[in-house]
Amino acid sequence: MSLAFRFTPLFVALAATIPHAAQADDEKADGFIEGSSLNLHFRNAYFNRNQLNQGVRDNREWGQGAVARFESGYTPGVIGFGVDAHAMLGLKLDGGGGHAGTSILPTHQKNEDELGAAPHSFSTAGAAVKLKGFDTELKAGDLLLTNPVIAGGETRMLPQTFRGVALTNTSVEGLLLEGGQVSFTKPYNQSGHRRIDTYYSQQTDDQRSKHLSWAGAAWNGTENITANLYAAELKDIWNQYYADFDYTYAVNDLVSLNPGVHFYHTQDTGQSKLGKIDNNTYSLHFTVAAGHHSVTAAYQRVNGNTPFDYINLGDSIYLDNSRMYSDFNGPNERSWKLQYDYDFAGLGIPGLTSSLSYSRGKLDLTKADPNSVGYGHWYSEDGKDARHWERDLDVKYVFQEGQFKDLSVLLRYASHRGSQGYSAVDNDNDELRVIVDYPLNVF
């Protein structure tokens, strides 16, 4: 049974909600022009990564990105019509051939062992048409998506986009129903589109998928509770299912408790282009917040002889121990994290926040299948007791008023180290990122 067939009841449910919204859409429509908006987002990004296992290979690049996003309102009538469009430009400010490869700029393979300098600029543009009837919206074209099974990467200089169709319904207050299918992706550091692949695939046509289909439900209609339930099929690679639950309990005006869980199940399907996959991955967290302080403890586990895999260059890894460098998602990995956050508004500096964390993982890499098409490189005969850890520090300031209101400066630093058994599959790194964001609402 294909996953597309399993999605049928949800799509029927989406369609069935339309008749229950009795209001005429033209009573709520803002109008194609009246409801339109244009937003600009400028991001200046500097990445410096020292890959210590490779004799201190110093990758460093600096770039300026600009994104313009136009969203129209809807034409009056029972079915409203609209258009969303975007344009993106990336400029290289620094980054020679000997230092390329941080992932914020396009890569150019100079030879088998060395990357050449990135181009001085790259750009892209796209658009999607949209239809809205009552509380149901259909978009077709170039999409920016964010959900647990397909989320475009947003952490680099420019965002990742996808090409396909997406359907959402909000008939029930607090409940979002959605589904869709995409066939191509535009990575965050490229101009062109390509078929979808996974983080651990070889990025070749025989390990890419023709499309990804998904359906899901997101609930936030109960105070202090959120929950998500999603399913996706990456054709001829995997079926992936996701569930989470998050609850915040307010002890008093100053203290709150926040437990939560994330769970993924991934299983190969169709042609199984990456080989056999039978993977259950989950993470648990518990946060205690007191005034401007919060402390989080998290535990994460991967049950399966393959790593937890996700869409290449994307952010669809909703796990607590996914950190700046490592995701702690190797085969059979167990990991824990301690994190401390502080909001400097408590010292009279609103807009300044910080986060400090330490994460540690343990794996048995001898259980990985060395003959696996997609994940054989995880096997290590010295990896029975493989271990690694990461320290992360984030400091962010957002201007609260004045000419630079909403401009933010984010400083991120990470150190990652692994044991001898772990070094066969990943690097020791020291990484520094400086990201300056300036959003601007034109109208």
Q: What is the pLDDT of residues 243-285, one digit of tens each?
A: 999 999 999 999 999 999 999 999 999 999 999 999 999 999 9
Average pLDDT over residues 342-371: 96
- The whole-angstrom separation of Cα 166 and Cα 163 is 10
Q: Which residue has the higher pLDDT, 112 or 173?
A: 173
Q: Is pLDDT of 110 > 50?
A: yes
Locate all alpha helices (DSSP H) within 315-414, ordered by sequence.
none
In this structure, how many other beta carbons lie within 10 angstroms of the beta carbon of residue 271?
11
CATH of domain 3-441: 2.40.160.10
Mean pLDDT for all residues in the chain: 90
- The pLDDT of residue 9 is above 50: no
Give the ranges where 238-331 is alpha helix by DSSP (H): none
Q: Calculate the dihedral angle through the C-alpha atoms of 187, 376, 320, 156, rounding to the nearest 10 degrees.
A: -20
SS3 per residue for 148-213: CCCCCCCCCCCCCEEEEEEEEECCCCCEEEEEEEEEEEECCCCCCCEEECECCCCCCHHHCECCEE
In the predicted model, what is the mean pLDDT of residues 85-111? 84
Pairing of strands 255-268, 352-363: unpaired
**pLDDT per residue as tens digits for the range 392-427:** 999 999 999 988 999 999 999 999 999 988 988 888
Query: Is pLDDT above 50 for 305?
Result: yes
161: Cβ contacts below 8 Å, ≥ 6 apart: 86, 124, 126, 142, 143, 144, 152, 185, 186
Hey, where are the domains in the chain? 3-441
| 58 has a pLDDT exceeding 90 | no
Angle at 84 between CA 81 and CA 89, to 5 degrees: 165
What pLDDT score does 1 carry?
Answer: 39
What does the alpha-carbon distance between residue 81 and residue 78 come to, in Å, rounded to a whole number?
Answer: 10
Query: What pLDDT was estimated at residue 36?
Result: 94
Strand, coil or helix: what is 50? strand
Assess whether pLDDT exceeds 50 at residue 16: no
Is residue 318 over pLDDT 60? yes
For the cut 70, the answer to whether the pLDDT of residue 321 exceeds it is yes
State mean pLDDT over 326-347.
97
One-character DSSP codes across 75-92: -SSSEEEEEEEEEEEEEE
